[in-house]
Amino acid sequence: MGIVNLLLLLVIFSSCASSNKKADRVFVKGVYGNPGSLLRAGYFFDSLGMNAVFVRSISLTPQFYETARQQGCQVFVEFPTLNGKDYLEDHPEAWPINEKGEQEPAADWFMGICPTHPGFKEHRANQLRNIMDEFDVDGVFLNYLHWHAQFETPYPILPETCFCNRCVRQFEMYADREVKGEDISQKADWILTHADKEWRDWRNSILNGWVQDMKDVVKSHQPEALLGVYYCAWYPENHHEALYRTLGIDVKGLARIADVLSPMLFHKMKDRPPVWVGQYLDWLESQTQAGKKGTPLVWPIVQAHNSPGIVSPGEFREVMLEGSKYPSSGIMMFSDVSLVEDPEKVEVMRDLYIHGFK
């Protein structure tokens, strides 16, 4: 064989190996929440076809960890990034401030925090370090990754925050502009009137900074662990562009940092048909080129939970099938409780996880 032909074969082999790298990856089949409830109900992860658990950090114990490993599961831990309720009890200076200069109240059950508070970021970073010092996990998934708001409800709560003095000072440095006004309400009015775009861009940069900083913690402790993000699966134009303007989420920006994107495809909460789950994955591919080399993995989380309304076993099967479509290379559902409460849904999951998504 001539050297030219040999080199050509090597190039072809290398290209095929590279292009098949993600295709060869084992499809991730998991449950989100406190999967230990399935064990207590008498199930076994391996007999359910599961190969991954996505467990809340407060539910991750040495006993659960060892059991999950013994039953063939990767262990991913959910990390409540910007949920500030407990921290605010002792640190009121971290409270998100609205455009009136007042402390913004809880948005339904969620209480966010001012994400520029340095003490809170260090608090979260230390919690993450402690988890990774104790457990050799396969990855960390950031949750509550947004400025103070509530989107997991039929009528989203979308306040304007945070206009504390610390945020305004940081924004001035970012935009290289002096904010006019005598008090917080006047400064907020000036920002929203004269520098709205820069304000939204700055808020997004703060959120992306959190993702990068938490990723640095993860990689410094366990370089092979993945950094995933759960995020609100609105389209950019929904709710007057609230995904970027209010929540501070730029999906393309997240895709440049995270190893795994996990859109929260809760169809019932968003009053969408099951087919929307697959449609969103199509859209995500168009925006991020997900599924190709150098792009993040996509493991959507779909709804089995009966609120609002009822998700029937048949409907649950539909959203699982939709959520398994390309570019998805894994899937999980919210949540373990909804499975334990309805054995028919357990059987749906078992059938799909063992026999495949067809």
Query: pLDDT digit string (tens) for 169-196?
Result: 999 999 999 999 999 999 999 999 999 9
Query: pLDDT digit string (tens) for 48-74?
Result: 999 999 999 999 999 999 999 999 999
Residues 6+ apart with CB under 8 A from 82: 112, 113, 115, 144, 145, 146, 147, 148, 210
> How far apart are alpha carbons 333 and 140 in whole angstroms?
17
Is 9 inside any structural domain?
A: no
Counting the structural domains of the chain, the total is 1
* Mean pLDDT for the stretch of residues 294-308: 95
β-pair partners for 103:
97
What percent of the chain has pLDDT above 90? 91
Task: Tell me how far CA of residue 23 lies from CA of 45, 55, 178, 326, in angstroms.
Answer: 24, 26, 51, 11
pLDDT band, very low/low/confident/very high, at 7 (cuts 50, 70, 90): very low
pLDDT above 80 for 125: yes
**Confidence (pLDDT) at 179:** 98
Higher-pLDDT residue of 21 and 239 is 239
**Confidence (pLDDT) at 154:** 78
Give the predicted TM-score (pTM) of the model.
0.92
> How far apart are alpha carbons 319 and 274 in whole angstroms?
5
> How far apart are alpha carbons 285 and 51 in whole angstroms?
25
Strand pairing category for 301-303 and 297-298: unpaired
**Confidence (pLDDT) at 24:** 56
pLDDT above 60 for 307: yes
> How far apart are alpha carbons 151 and 157 in whole angstroms?
7
Is 15 inside any structural domain?
A: no
**Confidence (pLDDT) at 336:** 95
pLDDT above 70 for 100: yes
Query: pLDDT digit string (tens) for 228-273?
Result: 999 999 999 999 999 999 999 999 999 999 999 999 999 999 999 9
**Confidence (pLDDT) at 9:** 39
> How far apart are alpha carbons 209 and 215 in whole angstroms?
10
**Confidence (pLDDT) at 358:** 81
pLDDT band, very low/low/confident/very high, at 98 (cuts 50, 70, 90): very high
* Mean pLDDT for the stretch of residues 155-166: 97
Is 202 inside any structural domain?
A: yes
Q: What is the residue range of 45's domain?
A: 26-355
**Confidence (pLDDT) at 27:** 98
pLDDT mean across residues, the chain: 93
Is 243 inside any structural domain?
A: yes
pLDDT above 70 for 21: no
**Confidence (pLDDT) at 160:** 98
* Mean pLDDT for the stretch of residues 78-91: 96
Is 21 inside any structural domain?
A: no
Higher-pLDDT residue of 19 and 327 is 327
**Confidence (pLDDT) at 8:** 38
Is 72 inside any structural domain?
A: yes
**Confidence (pLDDT) at 20:** 35
**Confidence (pLDDT) at 153:** 82
pLDDT above 60 for 10: no
- CATH code: domain of residue 53: 3.20.20.80
Is 18 inside any structural domain?
A: no
pLDDT band, very low/low/confident/very high, at 284 (cuts 50, 70, 90): very high
